[in-house]
């Protein structure tokens, strides 16, 4: 029996998982997190004070304090049954990394003790030479190290009855180049903080800190683990490279917000409970548009914490899934013909005085502050659309962007009818009529009508990659498997730069004797005129928009290898260096790593396609063909006329035609790969993989394989079919 049928049988005879989840969340919430409240209990006054200042200001801790904190951390975690610790970090491979060490060690005289000191807390040297580094460590220094990031709290990961203390860290080379997602993100957030506070101080001198906030919405598929294991493509690529569409896909739209299947519901409750222990504030769960697709979202948090929580959750979801004999797929396009998955990044900024800078204010003055941040966001996206596009580029996301289900690769901004009108008014009014007597701001009573209007779902545009949704922007083009740090690093850097320039312009007008409010409005007016071509209220999926965007000169780069070019332009170097986020060497290294990732992903998929074609598809098709031939021969032998086996002959012939196509295309695919592999330059190689391997052969090969799936006897087919993957619960 093929793996396909044993998996189906196993699914049919499975017993329900007896999971009794928590009945209340609050007692659970954050129980495995070394919060400041816990720290208060376990640390001396001195250590506690240092830690909390370090968290609030990003100031480095000194070694003696680190020792005290390490002792407190060990005491806390041992009380909870922890035996090992690890530096937890987010390497550029896109998942999380950890290397466990025990507290247990031997003294020089052989006595066994449990130990964890400041040195072990602060720094660790993973033997990480195999993490991608884009040549950085080779060029600069042999190894990298992980360094404790106190801004993100330590936590305990519970898995298979083992408990590990995880110390969030950044991963850097000895010469200081960042090798992970987190280090540049922290720098970008600091740059934003500085620029944003300066601008806030025009309106409120009490503001001393601005934090960017992020609320992500994670989409994912869940399928039966046994069935997933019977699909080598899912195992190795996270997506199906072949598979004929089932009769029922998502056309009935009966899955969206439908009731959650029991088995999945149990799984959700289980991973949610684990998430709560880690302080991840999950709030919503629901079905998504495609069958087998779901979404979860937390309450928003400061960006760096939200990023940690998202990567942690993805890790948890994978582990918990296997407790339920399920497999979770984060790939952007696991199945052809039905929707893929994204990860909307809801983004805003908030002040230490508790103001959401993208929420329209209640008075004209706070409205002007809102308008300032709103318009600056639009200008940032307008000026650096190419960088945002690069930040979300990946082999997986290429399947989504540009297909008619996700925002296009053209970055535009949706603001809604009402704000579009407000922008228009500011633009025209300030230009000709505005003077000191005519306090235009006072007449822009946006504070009265915006809240109801924008929070109303009807004024939403689901096709825009960057949409204003009442009190935040929603960056929708991020891929479901991505680490949001990438998008967030870029978004916050371009915002930091834009605000910095805004401040310069306003200041120079003020120096020339202009009144502050007028200087601000005039600059905003200029920005609106400058960036309004990025605003688009219509259907982002439509052909008309593609034409219109071209006319407007908006960039539209549909594939990753070329989208990544934006990372290493002079413009990119300048902005990332100016804001202390990436050095030139780091940018080039990252560019290289992203290209390499793209190449490898396409390479693996191409290999898997070749393997499946030759070892699964062709053999079963030939076998079935032989059965038909036997049948035909038998019918001939008993003397039946040709019309009695005409159908069999026709199927034999059709199978033959597709078989040849499958073989020829698989063969040509291998040859194309060989040619691409010889290319030295990474970018050229990535483009070759994209255009000469993927674009040329993937679809055509798939077409013929899927035709065979329709022709060949169901019992012979070894790969679980779409209807099983999507509907077997």
Residues that bind ligand ADP (CB under 6 A): 213-215, 217, 297-300, 346-348, 356, 469, 471-472
Spatial CA neighbour of 683 closest among 561, 580, 572, 514: 561
CA angle 651, 6, 246 (to 5 degrees): 45
Minimum CB–partner distance for residue 225 and ligand ADP (Å): 28
Cβ distance to Mg ion smaller for residue 472 or 591: 472
Task: Tell me if residue 190 falls in helix, strand or coil.
Answer: helix
HSE, side-chain direction, 13 A CA sphere, residue 37: 5
Give the helix/strand (H/E) hosting 329: strand 326-329
**303-339 burial, b if ≥16 CB within 10 A, otherwise e?**
bbbbbbbbbbbbbbbbbbbebbbbbbbbbbbbbbebb
Contacts of 583 (CB under 8 A, 6+ apart): 177, 576, 577
Do residues 309 and 280 touch, judged by C-beta distance below 8 A? yes
From the list Mg ion, ligand ADP, none, which binds 11 (C-beta under 5 to 8 Å, kind-based)? none
Cβ distance to Mg ion smaller for residue 351 or 464: 464
Q: Which residue has the tokens 């996700």?
A: 406
d(CA 488, CA 484): 6
Cβ distance to ligand ADP smaller for residue 305 or 708: 305
From the list ligand ADP, Mg ion, none, which binds 471 (C-beta under 5 to 8 Å, kind-based)? ligand ADP
d(CA 419, CA 358): 12
Cβ distance to Mg ion smaller for residue 333 or 344: 344
d(CA 593, CA 583): 15
From the list ligand ADP, Mg ion, none, which binds 356 (C-beta under 5 to 8 Å, kind-based)? ligand ADP
Q: Token pair of 677, please?
A: 């592999």
Query: Could you tell me which residues are beta bridge partners of residue 223?
Result: 327
From the list Mg ion, ligand ADP, none, which binds 131 (C-beta under 5 to 8 Å, kind-based)? none
DSSP 14: P
Cβ distance to ligand ADP smaller for residue 299 or 647: 299
d(CA 67, CA 73): 10
Cβ atoms within 10 Å of 1's Cβ, excluding its own? 9
From the list ligand ADP, Mg ion, none, which binds 299 (C-beta under 5 to 8 Å, kind-based)? ligand ADP
Minimum CB–partner distance for residue 458 and Mg ion (Å): 15
From the list ligand ADP, Mg ion, none, which binds 382 (C-beta under 5 to 8 Å, kind-based)? none
Cβ distance to ligand ADP smaller for residue 346 or 493: 346
Cβ distance to Mg ion smaller for residue 74 or 344: 344
Q: Token pair of 11, please?
A: 């699914």
Minimum CB–partner distance for residue 340 and ligand ADP (Å): 17
Minimum CB–partner distance for residue 321 and ligand ADP (Å): 22
Dihedral angle sign, alpha carbons of residues 28, 32, 35, 38:
positive
Cβ distance to Mg ion smaller for residue 234 or 487: 487
Task: Tell me if residue 217 falls in helix, strand or coil.
Answer: strand
Q: For the chain, percent helix, then strand, then coil, each to nearest 5?
A: 55, 15, 35
Minimum CB–partner distance for residue 453 and ligand ADP (Å): 14
Cβ distance to Mg ion smaller for residue 73 or 296: 296
Do residues 389 and 594 touch, judged by C-beta distance below 8 A? no
From the list Mg ion, ligand ADP, none, which binds 348 (C-beta under 5 to 8 Å, kind-based)? ligand ADP
Minimum CB–partner distance for residue 275 and Mg ion (Å): 19
For 501, counting Cβ atoms within 10 Å of its Cβ (0-12 exposed, 13-18 middle, 19+ buried), the class is middle
Contacts of 614 (CB under 8 A, 6+ apart): 663, 666
With CB atoms as reference, the residue minimizing the distance to Mg ion is 344
With CB atoms as reference, the residue minimizing the distance to ligand ADP is 215
Contacts of 577 (CB under 8 A, 6+ apart): 583, 584
Cβ distance to ligand ADP smaller for residue 317 or 606: 317
d(CA 268, CA 270): 5
Query: Could you tell me which residues are beta bridge partners of residue 72?
Result: none
Minimum CB–partner distance for residue 494 and Mg ion (Å): 22
Minimum CB–partner distance for residue 473 and ligand ADP (Å): 9
DSSP 342: B
Minimum CB–partner distance for residue 159 and ligand ADP (Å): 26
Query: Could you tell me which residues are beta bridge partners of residue 346?
Result: 215, 474
Minimum CB–partner distance for residue 532 and ligand ADP (Å): 25
Minimum CB–partner distance for residue 64 and ligand ADP (Å): 38
HSE, side-chain direction, 13 A CA sphere, residue 56: 10
Cβ distance to ligand ADP smaller for residue 116 or 347: 347
From the list ligand ADP, Mg ion, none, which binds 347 (C-beta under 5 to 8 Å, kind-based)? ligand ADP
Do residues 88 and 96 touch, judged by C-beta distance below 8 A? yes
Minimum CB–partner distance for residue 460 and Mg ion (Å): 9
From the list ligand ADP, Mg ion, none, which binds 334 (C-beta under 5 to 8 Å, kind-based)? none
Helices (DSSP H) in 153-257: which residue ranges? Answer: 182-200, 225-229, 232-237
Minimum CB–partner distance for residue 350 and ligand ADP (Å): 6
Minimum CB–partner distance for residue 296 and ligand ADP (Å): 9
From the list Mg ion, ligand ADP, none, which binds 321 (C-beta under 5 to 8 Å, kind-based)? none
Cβ distance to ligand ADP smaller for residue 155 or 300: 300
d(CA 270, CA 24): 13
Do residues 138 and 294 touch, judged by C-beta distance below 8 A? no
Minimum CB–partner distance for residue 717 and ligand ADP (Å): 39
Cβ distance to Mg ion smaller for residue 473 or 545: 473
Residues in touch with Mg ion (CB under 5 A): 344
d(CA 632, CA 622): 15
Spatial CA neighbour of 118 closest among 177, 71, 75: 71
d(CA 639, CA 635): 7
Cβ distance to ligand ADP smaller for residue 156 or 306: 306
Cβ distance to Mg ion smaller for residue 344 or 532: 344
From the list Mg ion, ligand ADP, none, which binds 279 (C-beta under 5 to 8 Å, kind-based)? none
């Amino acid at each position: 029996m093929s793996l396909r049928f044993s998996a189906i049988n196993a699914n049919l005879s499975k017993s329900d998982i007896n999971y009794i989840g928590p009945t209340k969340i609050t007692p659970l919430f954050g129980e495995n997190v070394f919060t400041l409240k816990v720290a208060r209990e376990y640390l001396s006054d001195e250590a506690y004070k240092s830690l909390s200042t370090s968290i609030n200001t990003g100031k480095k801790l000194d070694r003696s304090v680190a020792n005290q904190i390490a002792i407190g951390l060990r005491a806390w975690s041992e009380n909870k049954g922890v035996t090992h610790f690890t530096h937890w970090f987010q390497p550029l491979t896109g998942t999380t990394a950890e290397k466990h060490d025990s507290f247990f060690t031997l003294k020089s005289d052989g006595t066994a003790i449990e130990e964890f000191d400041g040195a072990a807390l602060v720094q660790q040297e993973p033997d990480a030479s195999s993490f991608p580094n884009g040549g950085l460590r080779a060029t600069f220094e042999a190894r990298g190290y992980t360094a404790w990031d106190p801004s993100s709290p330590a936590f305990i990961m519970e898995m298979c009855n083992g408990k590990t203390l995880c110390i969030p860290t950044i991963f850097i080379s000895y010469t200081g180049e960042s090798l992970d997602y987190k280090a540049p993100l922290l720098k970008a957030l600091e740059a934003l903080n500085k620029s944003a506070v300066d601008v806030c101080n025009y309106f409120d001198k009490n503001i001393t800190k601005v934090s960017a906030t992020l609320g992500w919405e994670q989409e994912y598929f869940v399928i039966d683990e046994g069935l997933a294991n019977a699909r080598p493509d899912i195992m190795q690529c996270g997506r199906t490279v072949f598979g004929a569409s089932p009769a029922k896909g998502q056309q009935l739209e009966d899955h969206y917000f439908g009731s959650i299947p029991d088995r999945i519901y149990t799984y959700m409750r289980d991973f949610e409970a684990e998430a709560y222990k880690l302080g991840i504030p999950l709030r919503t769960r629901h079905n998504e548009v495609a069958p087998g697709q779901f979404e979860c979202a937390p309450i928003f948090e400061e960006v760096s914490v939200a990023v940690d929580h998202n990567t942690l959750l993805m890790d948890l979801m994978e582990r918990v899934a296997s407790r339920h004999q399920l497999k979770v797929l984060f790939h952007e396009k696991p199945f052809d013909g039905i929707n893929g998955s994204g990860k909307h990044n809801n983004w805003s900024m908030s002040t230490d005085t508790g103001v959401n800078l993208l929420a329209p204010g209640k008075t004209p003055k706070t409205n002007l502050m809102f308008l300032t941040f709103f318009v600056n966001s639009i200008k940032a996206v307008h000026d650096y659309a190419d960088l945002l596009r690069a930040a979300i580029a990946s082999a997986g996301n290429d399947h989504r962007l540009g297909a008619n289900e996700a925002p296009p690769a053209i970055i535009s901004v949706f603001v809604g009818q009402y704000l579009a009108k407000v922008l228009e008014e500011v633009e025209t009014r300030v230009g000709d009529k505005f003077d000191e007597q005519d306090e235009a701001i006072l007449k822009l009573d946006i504070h009265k009508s915006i809240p109801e209007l924008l929070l109303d779902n009807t004024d939403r545009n689901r096709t825009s990659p960057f949409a204003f949704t009442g009190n935040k922007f929603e960056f929708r083009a991020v891929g479901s498997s991505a680490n949001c740090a990438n998008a967030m690093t870029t978004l916050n850097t371009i915002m930091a730069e834009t605000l910095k320039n805004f401040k310069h312009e306003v200041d120079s007008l003020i120096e020339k004797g202009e009144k502050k409010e007028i200087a601000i409005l005039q600059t905003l007016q200029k920005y609106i005129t400058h960036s309004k071509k990025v605003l688009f209220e219509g259907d982002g999926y439509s052909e008309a928009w593609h034409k219109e965007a071209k006319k407007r000169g908006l960039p539209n780069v549909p594939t990753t290898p070329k989208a990544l070019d934006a990372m290493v332009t002079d413009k990119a170097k300048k902005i990332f260096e100016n804001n202390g986020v990436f050095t030139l060497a780091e940018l080039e290294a990252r560019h290289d790593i992203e290209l390499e990732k793209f190449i490898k992903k396409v390479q693996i998929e191409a290999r898997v396609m070749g393997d499946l074609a030759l070892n699964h598809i062709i053999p079963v098709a030939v076998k079935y063909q032989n059965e038909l031939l036997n049948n035909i021969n038998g019918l001939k032998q008993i003397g039946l006329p040709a019309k009695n086996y005409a159908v069999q002959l026709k199927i034999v012939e059709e199978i033959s035609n597709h078989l040849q196509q499958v073989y020829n295309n698989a063969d040509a695919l291998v040859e194309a790969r060989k040619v691409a592999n010889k290319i030295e330059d990474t970018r050229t190689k990535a483009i070759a993989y994209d255009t000469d391997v993927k674009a040329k052969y993937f679809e055509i090969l798939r077409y013929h394989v899927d035709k065979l799936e329709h022709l060949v006897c169901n019992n012979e087919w070894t790969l679980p079919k779409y209807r099983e993957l999507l509907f077997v619960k």
